[in-house]
Structure 1
């Protein structure tokens, strides 16, 4: 059986971002993994957590599902705090040994010192931004794809040696006619491709 860590990267803002949508996706993913025979653990960045406990979860996990809302083009600040504390806390044990470079071996490149080889991760994002702003030279992101616009988070995992799976994102989350059932189906289809058919 494979092990999956689901990270809830939500930060609450009253009346704006209360966390219900993020929790819905976390719960849906948890049910999906359980039904397919995975072992599941969850982490929540908002609230008390122990860095060593989190590192133990990362060491245990074969897969990481990182679910969070995109705030101001990146992760919420408490999620960045979690990343800084947990990933830095794992030096020489779970996340990385060094930046990869070596005085003795100049062929070793920056970003090659990760300890998470063999692990895979999936980003699942909630956006107010419409999907049309990506892959569009006239759009807000100047032609960047969804993954290119989230390069900092991808590079975090790459630095530690983990491999990406297909990213999921729900867009325009505040629009009145949001079809959440259709979005949950699309989310579960992405989970199926990433964790079942690709195994």
Structure 2
């Protein structure tokens, strides 16, 4: 039986600074990788609109989720956050917050229904990689994943397990070698999914 992956495109268009070509290049690379390796693939391009129930069904269908998005102001583009708010609150990804009045050992965040599934974040960033794990930088020593704790915990609340995160940095610096970055991306895809 083929493995199934949902590719979420969380890009939001802004003229000049965020037209979506870089996000699409990563999605194209991922799509080719998954098809070449026998995966069934479904896509959601959030900016084009979506049906909440259909999105819930896609999460239930998928073994894996690849969430590709640009980091805007240290987080998700607002339409991607809206997508999560609208689709994850349909009550189909979790039974409860996990706690139980009759069993105090059950912990908050343990009621997810999407167990056995995994997700990967793939991020495009203006900031340099050196901004992370650096106490003197804006992120005050946080790792890349720690800086995205809200997105990670949202997926984990629903029962999914994380795979290694990929990020491309310094995208506006002017010397981005996209082919080299896409090769790095494919190595992370290989490690995570094969």
How far has the Cα of 1:176 moved from its partner?
1.1
Q: Which residue matches 2:169?
A: 171
Q: TM-score, normalised by structure 1?
A: 0.96
Q: Which residue matches 1:11?
A: 12
> In structure 1, the residue corresponding to 2:48 is in which secondary structure?
coil
- In angstroms, what is the RMSD of aligned CA positions? 0.6
Q: TM-score, normalised by structure 2?
A: 0.98
Distance in 1 separating the partners of 2:8 and 2:19: 17
Unaligned runs of 5+ in 2: none
> In structure 2, the residue corresponding to 1:25 is in which secondary structure?
helix
How far has the Cα of 1:175 moved from its partner?
1.2
Deviations 1:43-66 (A, max 9, x none): 011022100111111010000000
Q: Which residue matches 1:22?
A: 23
Distance in 2 separating the partners of 1:52 and 1:58: 10
Distance in 1 separating the partners of 2:80 and 2:110: 24
How far has the Cα of 1:139 moved from its partner?
1.4
How far has the Cα of 1:140 moved from its partner?
1.3
**Aligned match for 1:120, one of 107, 115, 118:** 118
What is the aligned length? 193
Q: Which residue matches 2:108?
A: 110
Q: Which residue matches 1:45?
A: 46
Distance in 1 separating the partners of 2:24 and 2:48: 14
Unaligned runs of 5+ in 1: none
Which ranges of 4 or more aligned residues in structure 1 deviate by more than 2 Å? none
After superposition, residues 1-199 of structure 1 pair within 5 angstroms as 1-89=2-90, 91=91, 93=92, 95-196=93-194
Distance in 2 separating the partners of 1:44 and 1:75: 14
